[in-house]
Amino acid sequence: MWRTRLPIRRKRRLEKKLLIFSIVFDISLMSFFKYTGWISESIVALGAYAGFSVLTAPIHVPLPPGVSFYTFETICYTADVYKKEFHPTRHLLDYLNFLVFFPHLVAGPIRRARQLLPVLSEFRPAITSSVANQALIYVL
């Protein structure tokens, strides 16, 4: 784990920069999926209107289902960690379970990680070889 002995002000500035980077990255990724087709169609139409062809056809990027929901869940998680309202989870599987918790997706507003992650970390059965074999057989 990367730990540093930076002065508190410097550490806080670094955390703020990382928060801003994370938010910009998340929104950029969502914007890429949502607006690439629209922008490319606009460029093709503008080019045709002006009398030259920039692109021969618009670019179509398939839109992942729930991309906005996942983006805002991720931003909410990052903001909670930044505000020190929640300690970041050390288990990637817990974080991914929080992110794709579909019963909540249908239920309504963005949920806070501090409400769901402790519950997920309590229920973590040990993975035995028989359980892993059953999972692989089920998937295949």
What token pair was written down for 78? 């990052």
pLDDT beyond 80 at 7: no
Domain that holds residue 83: 67-140
What token pair was written down for 121? 């970390």
**Distance (Å, whole) CA 87 – CA 117:** 10
The answer to whether residues 113 and 100 belong to one domain is yes
The answer to whether residues 20 and 86 belong to one domain is no
CB of 26 closer than 8 Å to CB of 75: yes
What's the average model confidence in pLDDT over 7-28? 91
The answer to whether residues 54 and 72 belong to one domain is no
Predicted model pTM: 0.66
Q: How confident is the model at residue 2 (pLDDT cuts 50, 70, 90)?
A: low
Q: State residue 103's pLDDT score.
A: 60
Domain count, the chain: 2
The answer to whether residues 17 and 83 belong to one domain is no
What token pair was written down for 118? 């402790």
| CA angle in degrees (0–180, nearest 5) for 74-115-70 | 20
CB neighbour list of residue 82: distance below 8 Å, 6 or more residues apart: 15, 16, 19
The answer to whether residues 83 and 38 belong to one domain is no
53-107 pLDDT per residue, tens: 666 777 888 888 888 888 988 998 899 889 988 888 888 888 888 887 766 555 5
Q: How confident is the model at residue 30 (pLDDT cuts 50, 70, 90)?
A: very high
